Amino acid sequence: MIQTLVDGLLQGSVLALAAVGFSLIFGVLGVINLSHGVLVILGAYIALVARRILGLDPLAALPLVAAISFAIGYVYQHLVVSPAIRRANLLSSLLVTYGTALIAQNVLVLVFSPDFQSIRPHYANDFWHLGGITLNLLQLVALAASLLLITLLYLILNRMPIGRAIRATAEQELAARVCGINIERIYALTFAIAAAFAGAAGVLIGMLFPFSPASQDDWTIYGFVVVVLGGTGSASGALLGGLLLGVISTLTTHFIGAAYPNAMVFLVLVIMLLIRPVGLLGNALGASR
């Protein structure tokens, strides 16, 4: 039982990092980004290219992947998402991001093939034993990296000027405009920051699990579930939701069967939507919405 809980927490930390960008975009822009999973998987593929061409260890490539993902996210929001919202409405962003996800998935298939890939490092099979609990070194590295990055996002949102501008824009757009904040720039930066964290999560996911272009669907769904469980717009909400999702998945696999985690996850999702649709920690950026 304790081993199962530990495995769930280790897995949940990576799920939290993968979903925190989804939560940020939904909390600030009010956009359900159906291409979020592509940004996650793209991070894994960038790390794969860096490994093949530059010989970089995935962890060493993580800052590079985050920087490239940041640039992609900024351009994507500025050229694709923002025009769709301006010319139509937020609902159109669903269609635009979903269409972008399909296009990007097919491009990845053409470039890398539809086969599963992996960027597992040489220390992936190292284990530690502590009081009857087996700890995988790679999972511990992923846990430490996830917590460090989520803490970094918390500091950005709550301690830095750009974070205060993001929060002000999310809570009251008109007042932010009156104060001289460039709303379009803030939206693009928010999307870019979310993409950077998604790309970083993709590196850790590629180290832990096999991935393919079709995997992007799963990570978009996981992002949505984590946001519903934890709440939108906060790093702590994403962390709580991710940890819960990881524990639910591992407990279901252990006690019911390996074929049922997704069914249990969606059952919990429906119950949460009925009981507390804003998530356990609520909407951190929705005071005035």
Residue 289 lies in a domain: no
Q: For strand 127-130 and strand 133-136, is the pairing parallel, antiparallel, or unpaired?
A: antiparallel
At 128 the pLDDT is 82
Q: Whose structure tokens read 């990092």? A: 17
Number of domains observed in the structure of the chain? 1
Residue 287 lies in a domain: no
- The predicted pLDDT at position 204 comes to 94
Task: Flag whether 286 is in a domain.
Answer: no
- In the three-class reduction of DSSP (H, G, I as helix; E, B as strand; rest coil), residue 160 is classed as coil
Specify the 3-state DSSP secondary structure of 129. Answer: strand
CA distances from 99 to 67, 146, 234, 249 (A): 24, 29, 27, 29
Q: Which residue has the higher pLDDT, 110 or 127?
A: 110
- Domain limits for position 210: 2-275
Mean predicted confidence (pLDDT) in 47-70: 94
pLDDT value at residue 288: 40
Determine, yes or no, domain membership for 282: no
Among 44, 15, 46, 45, smallest CA distance to 220 is for 15
Please report whether residue 283 resides in a domain. no
Q: And the tokens for 102?
A: 């399909």
- Of 13, 1, 51, 2, nearest to 242 by C-alpha is 13
Q: State how far the Cα of 86 lies from the Cα of 185, in Å rounded to an integer.
A: 14
Lowest mean pLDDT among 51-65, 146-160, 235-249, 274-288: 274-288
Question: Can you tell me the distance from the alpha carbon of 23 to that of 239, in angstroms, rounded to the nearest whole number?
Answer: 11
Query: CA-to-CA distance for 18 and 20, rounded, in angstroms?
Result: 6
Distance, CA of 218 to CA of 240 (rounded, Å)? 19
Residue 282 has pLDDT above 80, yes or no: no
Question: What confidence tens digit (pLDDT) does each residue in 92-102 have?
Answer: 788 899 999 99
Give me the pLDDT at residue 258, please. Answer: 82
Please tell me the distance from the alpha carbon of residue 220 to that of residue 264, in angstroms, as a whole number.
Answer: 17
Residue 38 has pLDDT above 90, yes or no: yes
Residues of the chain above pLDDT 90, percent? 39
Q: Among positive and negative, which fits the CA dihedral 269, 249, 202, 38?
A: negative
Residue 284 included in any domain: no
Residue 281 counted as domain residue: no
Per-residue pLDDT, 211: 94
Stretch 195-213: mean pLDDT: 94
Q: What is the mean pLDDT of the chain?
A: 88
Greater model confidence, 45 or 277: 45
Whether 13 contacts 168, CB under 8 Å: no
Q: What's the whole-number mean pLDDT along residues 195-215?
A: 94
pLDDT the model gives residue 88: 67
Asked if the structure places residue 91 within a domain, the reply is: yes
Cα distances (angstroms) measured from residue 109 to each of 70, 114, 216: 22, 5, 12
Q: Sorting pLDDT into bands at 50, 70 and 90, what band is 286?
A: low
The two three-digit tokens of residue 77, written as one number: 């929001």
